[in-house]
Amino acid sequence: MSELSDTLQPDLESVRQARALAGRASLGQNALAELKQDQIDTIVEAMARAATKNAKTLATLAQNETGYGIVEDKTQKNLFASEKVFNFIRPLKTVGVISKSTEKRFIEIAEPFGVVAAVIPSTNPTSTTIYKTLIALKARCSIVISPHPTAIQSIVRTAEIMAEAALSAGAPSGAINWMTTVTIEGTQALMQHRNISVILATGGMGLVRAAYSAGKPAYGVGPGNAPAYIESSADVEKAVKDIITGKTFDNGVLCSSENSVVVDKDISERVIQIFKKNNAYFLSPEECEALSRILITAQRLPNPELVGRSAGFIADSAGISVPPETRVLVAPLDGVGRDFPLSIEKLCPVLSFFVVQDWQEGCERCKEILKYGGMGHTMSIHSKNEDIILEFGLKKPASRIVVNTPTTHGSIGLTTGLPPAMTLGCGGFGGNITSDNITPLHLLNIKRLAYEIETVPESSKPQLLTEANPMPVLISPPNRPVESTISSALLSQRADDFLKSRISSKGDHESKQEESAPSTLNNRLDEDAKIKTPVEFVCEDDVRKAITRHEKILIDKKTIITPAARDLASDNKIFTESELNL
């Protein structure tokens, strides 16, 4: 009994804390919503300055606590949030009247969404805390932070620094809050609390699904698995350097970092040589197999022990000998899916490598990679051919297709004109509510005063009945010939005959149904599955539709299944396997 009590204690404390902080944040929200634009801007600026001042200290704390990434790169991410994001949001109007249109005669008025539940990942703990706190208070939204359990110290310290600066600049008590005892139950209690108005969730697919099922508006972000395509016309030297820069930045822990390279065959040998010149190590088939065994779990997820580690550390862990200067490991693959474990998102300096005949085949290969765990997120194309670049923009299921730049830096708006952000929506492709880079504008309710600019056409107005406009006289239809009457006896006989025919027909029909119907729903589903051919690709949306329709999905070893789809299907026993066992 004592052991059970000890097990439940953290969950109970986490839930209690979540409820208390949601209540505190609600009181802070009431006061925050009354502040003027200049007061909000003063508070946000004070927080940004405090974060900039402590950028390296917080980066060091994060790296020491989690073991992920590189201190210098984490410092750059902190500065990206405290400077680049801040400079972008500083001029935004988020209080009262934010825009007017004289021509269309409408006025837009901003209101805060309300209390934000912010779930922070372990991969980017301090930079994400800085970013989410800045955009929340810029929108006059109080915030409750739920840290990842493995990064509590660094996240809490970041929140404390932001809160101290905000309070000194005039923010109300309760504007910034954070949990210190964190469990799954506590985080769920926070997201579902009645005082929470919107959720900002960054993490794995399980967390994102929990956020979207909490009954609140939510901005959730799933896995990336970004492909980088090098087309024949590309500046190959720059393309390779960009890809290595993006993949090795903070040891690849950003979800938008490159995970695969797709290259045209006619330039593939040159690309390989340039990769090697930039300290990339190409794995043999045997080394790929050894790496797969330790890097990818049975659930087709990256091993947490190797996430954010250096290429040398990962190689040593797999028993692979590489030169000490190795920056990235490259795994040549022939396909995408369960038979090719290294084709998923890896969150470390490991790249899968594919050679294609031309840009059309490259286009299809990039689609396969995105479908295998990165739908709607990010990819890059390196090319000088504007027609091909546009084709990729038109046909790829990615919300950010960055051109001739690292996916890591381009997606977050560091090297491109995209809004700078640490939360990147995946749109309908990835089951998200938006495909935008999330800014304070996503935390605002916009009200609109709309004045009449056109009068209702006269002909559309209802006509009043007056002596001058009386009710129209209905014209009787022309007379129709009347059938001759029939005797009551004949009428009764016809009715009896009709009823007998209906009863007989109904009985035959029901008898046939009983003979042909399978005995159970499962028998029906099994029979249906036998006559189908295995599908080539299954995403989470396909599984949801199958559940709704009470159908099964026939798969074989060639079927590409996203990790989220496999989890959902396993819970509901949706998959039927062909004679080849998966």
The whole-number mean pLDDT for each consecutive block of 10 residues of the chain, a chain of 582 residues, reads 58 94 96 97 98 98 96 97 98 96 93 97 96 98 96 98 98 97 94 96 79 88 90 97 97 95 97 98 97 92 94 97 97 94 95 97 95 92 97 92 97 96 90 92 96 83 60 52 52 59 49 42 45 74 83 82 77 73 42
| Residues whose CB is less than 8 angstroms from the CB of residue 394 and which lie 6 or more positions away in sequence, other chains included | none
Under 8 Å between Cβ of 247 and 257: yes
pTM, to two decimals: 0.79
CA distance 572 to 570: 5
List every span in the chain annotated with CATH 3.40.309.10: 226-405
CATH 3.40.605.10 boundaries in the chain? 9-222+440-449
**Based on C-alpha coordinates, what's the Rg of the chain?**
31
Res 210: pLDDT: 83
pLDDT of residue 492: 59
Which residue out of 141, 255, 288, 539 is catalytically annotated?
255
Q: What is the pLDDT of residue 115?
A: 98
Give pLDDT, residue 500: 59
Q: What sections of 223-307 are H helices per DSSP?
A: 236-248, 265-277, 285-295
- Classify domain 9-222+440-449 at the CATH topology level: Aldehyde Dehydrogenase; Chain A, domain 1 (3.40.605)
Q: What is the pLDDT of residue 7?
A: 56
CA distance 397 to 371: 8
Query: Catalytic residue at 426?
Result: no
The CA distances from residue 533 to 526, 554, 555, 579, in Å, are 13, 7, 8, 12
- The pLDDT value given to residue 529: 43
d(CA 98, CA 94): 6
**From residue 173, how far is each of 166, 444, 449 by CA, in Å?**
9, 21, 33
Q: Are 222 and 426 in contact (CB under 8 A)?
A: yes
φ/ψ of 581, rounded to 5, equals -75, 135
Report helix, strand or coil for 458: helix
Q: Check residue 65 and give its pLDDT.
A: 97
**Nearest Cα to 278, choosing from 233, 231, 329?**
329
Q: Which CATH superfamily is domain 226-405 in?
A: Aldehyde Dehydrogenase; Chain A, domain 2 (3.40.309.10)
